[in-house]
A and B are shown apart, each in its own frame.
Chain A
Amino acid sequence: DVKVTQSSRYLVKRTGEKVFLECVQDMDHENMFWYRQDPGLGLRLIYFSYDVKMKEKGDIPEGYSVSREKKERFSLILESASTNQTSMYLCASSLLGISNQPQHFGDGTRLSIL
Chain B
Amino acid sequence: AQTVTQSQPEMSVQEAETVTLSCTYDTSESDYYLFWYKQPPSRQMILVIRQEAYKQQNATENRFSVNFQKAAKSFSLKISDSQLGDAAMYFCAYRGGERGGGADGLTFGKGTHLIIQP
Contact = CB atoms under 8 A, between A and B. Distances in A.
Interface of A: 30-31, 33, 35, 40-45, 48, 50, 58-59, 88, 90, 92, 94-103, 105, 107-108
B106 A103 contact: yes
Interface stretch (B11-19, B38-46, B66-74, B75-83): B38-46
8 contacts: A40-B9, A45-B105, A45-B106, A59-B105, A94-B102, A97-B101, A100-B52, A107-B42
A31 to B, nearest CB: 5
Instruction: Please give me the 7 A-B residue pairs with the lowest Cβ-Cβ distance, nearest first.
Output: A105-B45, A45-B105, A42-B108, A50-B103, A43-B108, A42-B110, A102-B47
A30 B100 CA distance: 13
Contact of B102 (A31, A35, A45, A88): A31
A101 B35 CA distance: 10
A100 B52 CA distance: 7
A42 B35 contact: no
Given A43-B91, A105-B44, A105-B45, A99 B97 contact: yes
B105 A98 contact: no
B101 A100 contact: no
A83 B91 CA distance: 26
B105 A48 contact: yes
Given A42-B91, A42-B109, A96 B35 contact: no
Contact of A90 (B4, B45, B102, B103): B45
